[in-house]
Amino acid sequence: MGEETVKPAVVVDDVSVLFNLNAEKIDNLKEYFIKLLTRRLHYTEFWALKNVSFTVQPGERLGVLGFNGSGKSTLLKTVAGVLKPTKGHVEVDGVIAPLLELGAGFDMNYTGKENIFLYGATMGFSRKYITERYDDIVAFSELKDFIDVPVKNYSSGMRARLGFSIATAVEPDVLILDEVLSVGDAKFRKKSEKKIQSMFDSGVTVLFVSHNTDQVRRLCNSAILIEKGVVTARGTADEVCAIYDAQVNSNK
């Protein structure tokens, strides 16, 4: 008998993402609908990703490099299920913990407690799952005294702390990181970094976006380079970081 084939943790198969950018300035909703109905609304098509394909094996830590506007964050959001590909498909084997734009999905008029269940639901967690971990989420966020206060009264740091605590309440198979997180004050930042490191130590699969090649070399064992929505390099972290560093230096 042959060896059993290990199922990839992430498969990105010929994925393209199209955004329709409004080509003209529209001042109000009424003007928008008039132009829409009279077919005078013009869009510029922008392909944020073009025919992107790669696989990530279980336990692999993939760095994603590229200049601003290259499509890195769009790629992570597509893998996380936040964005739907225009073409192609994405398969993820297991539970995802997407640490992207922490707290971006909060309803500002709801309390911290209500947002824990709302945010958890948007991440695909059941109410039972969140209920079982509710006390741990609140304790980790250090927001017990503010948990019944509307989130609109939170500072941006408090919202990020709550978002981080919810997103990391799971034991993920795949961790998606958009830059290294700097959440809250120095004390909480140290705690959040320790939490992420414990996930790394558990053998979690990682997709990590960063402009810092030192971080990618330290945290990742493989990498891809994206330029204008196209993957132009794939290899070890050292190989791809060297290509990216050369591009950075040539643009100085």
In SS3 terms, the chain reads as CCCCCCCCCEEEEEEEEEEEEECCCCCCHHHHHHHHHCCCCCEEEEEEEEEEEEEECCCCEEEEECCCCCCHHHHHHHHHCCCCCCEEEEEECCCEEEECCCCCCCCCCCEHHHHHHHHHHHCCCCHHHHHHHHHHHHHHHCCHHHCCCEHHHCCHHHHHHHHHHHHCCCCCCEEEEECCCCCCCHHHHHHHHHHHHHHHHCCCEEEEECCCHHHHHHHCCEEEEEECCEEEEEEEHHHHHHHHHHHHHHCC
In a domain, 43, yes or no: no
In a domain, 192, yes or no: no
Shared domain for 116 and 81, answered yes or no, is no
In a domain, 148, yes or no: yes
> Which of 27-41, 92-106, 175-189 has the lowest average pLDDT?
27-41
Q: Which of 170, 188, 222 is the last residue of a domain?
A: 170
In a domain, 70, yes or no: yes
Reported pTM: 0.78
Q: What is the pLDDT of residue 28?
A: 56
Q: What is the pLDDT of residue 1?
A: 46
Summarize the confidence of residues 181-209 as an average pLDDT: 83
Residue 246 belongs to what domain range?
55-95+209-250
Max avg pLDDT among 35-49, 117-131, 227-241: 227-241
Shared domain for 77 and 117, answered yes or no, is no
Give the pLDDT confidence of 168-187 residue by residue, as tens digits. 888 889 998 887 666 667 78
Q: With 90 as the cut, is the pLDDT of residue 4 above it?
A: no
In a domain, 180, yes or no: no
Q: Which of 147, 170, 193 is the last residue of a domain?
A: 170
| More confident of the two residues 41 and 202 | 202
Shared domain for 147 and 115, answered yes or no, is yes
In a domain, 238, yes or no: yes
Shared domain for 70 and 116, answered yes or no, is no
Q: With 80 as the cut, is the pLDDT of residue 89 above it?
A: yes
Shared domain for 91 and 213, answered yes or no, is yes
In a domain, 9, yes or no: no
Q: Which of 148, 170, 192 is the last residue of a domain?
A: 170
Shared domain for 213 and 89, answered yes or no, is yes
Domain count across the chain: 2
In a domain, 100, yes or no: no
